[in-house]
Amino acid sequence: MNDRIDLAVWSAAPLDPCYATLGAPYHQPVAPTPLSQPILLHHSATLARELGLDGAAMGSPELLATLVGNNPWPGYVPHASVYAGHQFGTFVPQLGDGRALMIAELRTQDGRHLELQLKGAGRTPYSRGADGRAVLRSSIREYLCSEAMHALGVPTTRCLSVAGAADPVFRETTETAAVVCRVAPSFVRFGHFEFFYHRGAHQYLASLADHVIDTHFQHLAGQPDRYAAWLGEVVERTARLMAQWQTLGFCHGVMNTDNFSILGLTIDYGPFGFLDHFNPHHICNHSDDAGRYAYSAQPEVGQWNCAQLLQATLPLLPGTPEQAVEIAQEIYARYAPVYSQAALRGWADKLGLRELHDGDADLLNSFLGVLHRGKSDFTRSFRHLARVRTDADTPAIGVREEIADLAAFDAWITDYRARLTAEQNTDDDARADGMNRVNPKYILRNHLAQAAIEQAQQGDTAELDRLAKLLARPFDEQPEMERYAAEPPEGQRHIEVSCSS
């Protein structure tokens, strides 16, 4: 491959090195490990356009070679960054990009800074003895879910491409290698700050924080109180992200501090899943024996992780150590009310309530209780709820079929209709339209992802393409795709996924 190809042949977005300028000790240059005969399995056409990459570029063998690590992005030195993290509550002093490499930083035509990172491109100084590879199954899952979450309106890293090769990768069994090209404004994590704080290398915290502020919180750049203001925004972004996860029924599975983005993005799609039947105690990661990251625990874990970030950034806060702690405690206290407000608003939208009234939380919890007792499907039940009319003589077609405890549901729907009529200017059609814009019809259920993976492992990417197109429009009625909105077959519900990828 020609590694001297003109950058303009690929992308209209110029290089915009920001994180790269930090240098050591924040990251180290690393040469990717080449893949033999890589094949582009799929790419996000919408994201490619945002990056100034047209269809011809995405189809070029030269760009594919770069998107799997065989050739460098012209003018940019790939590197891996170092960070620490609390993993399942236990502090690990050094982690880092064990199989990820930053290969480019671009400035889009609309002025955004975006970073391109390869996952699965081989060993780095932070691989901790591992091979630095990713396997096909996990790479397809990350590719699909990143773009699905974006379409759902959730802040997230995204995926430009997923490519595979026949190179063997040894996990529980022998699998084949794959590389995803992830894209985000920043890949800085809470754990980046923990690394320098817990090593006593506090002199490196300010430069890292200023990089994040100058690049991504420019309205705070240069202000004397910028660190406290910035941390307050990070805490609030994290709280709002947790509220979105809960209202969508999304379970992350590995909510370690090294998997929490400093920009409040969903990052690192390893063991994840969307709820099938509603179970607040659902655990999507079969390695999480204690249920630390169960669905119901996610908001509290998000707050705990913010506490670890605030601890790691105490040296940036003004005054005496005691005064810095007081400032950090004030920032920490912002999490709970922001989460509560965002969650209440999100749940109200799912119920079709424009106004917030006393008793709305009780109304919601009663409905969730009905779903839990009857093991009703979370996504389907909320989607069908839009079909309820305020007229008590009109049957609740759709949602009633999802319910096992019909007596409890019939009592609840009487209260629900009364609450709907308490809204000013009640309009069933307008309410239904609004509910269908927040309650998706299609989500990335694990059994759907598994079907696409199994076909791709046989060299057939038709299902991968079909699923990607479906999930790009999660709120739209797509009659020809109705079967993808069905409940999972018996035995394929609430599939738990491992960390092994």
Q: How many Cβ atoms sit within 10 Å of the Cβ of residue 487?
A: 16
List all residues 6 or more positions away from 125 whose beta carbon is below 8 Å from its beta carbon. 28, 30, 80, 82, 96
Spell out a b/e string for 397-425, using b for 16 or more CB atoms within 10 Å of the CB, else e: eebbebbebeebbeebbeebbebbeeeee
Q: How many Cβ atoms sit within 10 Å of the Cβ of residue 110?
A: 7
Of 16, 97, 258, 288, the catalytic one is 258
Query: Cα–Cα distance between 365 and 387 in angstroms, integer?
Result: 20
CA dist list (Å): 163 to 148, 337, 340, 369, 456: 18, 43, 40, 43, 11
Spell out a b/e string for 24-37, using b for 16 or more CB atoms within 10 Å of the CB, else e: eebbbebebbbbee
Q: Which helix (H) or strand (E) holds 325?
A: helix 321-332
Answer yes or no: are the C-beta atoms of 488 and 276 closer than 8 Å: yes
Q: At what angle do helices 321-332 and 298-312 cross, to 10 degrees?
A: 160
Cα–Cα–Cα angle for 409, 414, 416, rounded to 5 degrees? 90
Tell me the helices (H) and strands (E) count for the chain, helix number first. 16, 12
Q: Which two tokens stand for residue 59?
A: 């189809």
Q: Which two tokens stand for residue 22?
A: 């930090």
CA dist list (Å): 84 to 95, 270, 301, 487: 5, 18, 17, 40
Answer yes or no: are the C-beta atoms of 243 and 339 closer than 8 Å: yes
Which DSSP string corresponds to 473-491? STTS--GGGGGGGSPPPTT
Q: Which two tokens stand for residue 209?
A: 């924080």
Q: Establish whether 258 is a catalytic residue.
A: yes
List all residues 6 or more positions away from 18 whose beta carbon is below 8 Å from its beta carbon. 105, 113, 211, 214, 215
> What is the number of residues in the chain?
501
Answer yes or no: are the C-beta atoms of 136 and 51 closer than 8 Å: no
> Residue type for 159, please?
C
Residues with catalytic function:
258
